[in-house]
Amino acid sequence: MTISAVIIILREVLEAALLVSLLLSSSMVMGISRRGVVAGIVFGIIGAGLVTWQFDLVSESFEGVGQEVFNAALLSAIVLLLLAYSGYMGKGAVQQQSAGGIPPVLACLVVAMAVTREGMEVFVFMYGFTAIPEELLSVLVGAAMGAGIGISLGVLIFYGLISLHGRLRVSLPQCLLALVAAGMASQAVVYLMQGGLIDSRLPVWDTTDWISESSVSGQLLYALLGYEATPTATQLVVYGMTLLLFIVVALFARRQSAVLMGADAV
């Protein structure tokens, strides 16, 4: 159970840690307050506790597929908020300052929702072993190891991003946020398929023999790219459309910034 706990907790913690590190680094680049990210972590932990407390109510709603609907809704909301946040990242420093507190609020909401979803999965998983005392210790050890690995990778990514120079300090986090968002959109499709709200299809390919989803590298790719060894055509379409939408928003924001900078120069 120790290894299983490491993999499960790593998967949940890593996705949240990656998102937090990206938002923290981008906040530093944009020169905006990082309090929104910190507040989002606090609100997310509280939210995860509340949802876990009412887990039966959530699960039994929507004719027994409440958990799937809840996860899909959270993921969809996070994607939309990240899209708006990415648009502010593509703007110039003057426009970012004129936006006031909007980017920190967006970051707070994204982190709060992400930590709520991932934290709920962790709390539910851990709570299930309170009734099995003989397995609890090994699960706690595995959970601590998985959380430690996930947080450590998040810290490494954060320091790697803030050490970048020039345009990479903005463009790379922006690209990574787009990839994370596309992965989340794909995950939302999976939850809807599990709930029977979208027809399940046969996978387009199977790369399990190359990179297993249960491996550390698979978990890292899952958090960063939304990697799945057996994606369906619907997932791939949603993934691609999300990436395209982020590209369009980024290009529009940069063009708007260039136009306004030209007007100011005149």
Q: Is the per-residue pLDDT at 250 higher than 90?
A: no
Q: What is the pTM of this model?
A: 0.91
Q: Which of 215, 180, 146, 126 has its CA nearest to residue 18?
A: 180
Question: What is the tally of structural domains in the chain?
Answer: 1
Q: How confident is the model at residue 89 (pLDDT cuts 50, 70, 90)?
A: confident
- Using alpha carbons only, how large is the chain's radius of gyration in Å? 19
Query: What does pLDDT average to over the chain?
Result: 87
Q: Which domain holds residue 187?
A: 2-265
How far is residue 111 CA from its own chain's centroid?
8
| Least confidently predicted of 26-40, 94-108, 164-178, 235-249 | 94-108
Place of tokens 């420093």: 93
Write down the pLDDT at residue 130.
81
Q: Average of pLDDT values for 117-136?
A: 87
Residue 133 in tokens: 């005392």
Angle between helix 55-64 and 35-53 (nearest 10): 70
* Phi-psi map region of 200: left, alpha, beta (phi>0 left; psi -120 to 50 alpha): beta
Q: How confident is the model at residue 159 (pLDDT cuts 50, 70, 90)?
A: very high
H-run or E-run covering 219: helix 216-225
Write down the pLDDT at residue 50.
95
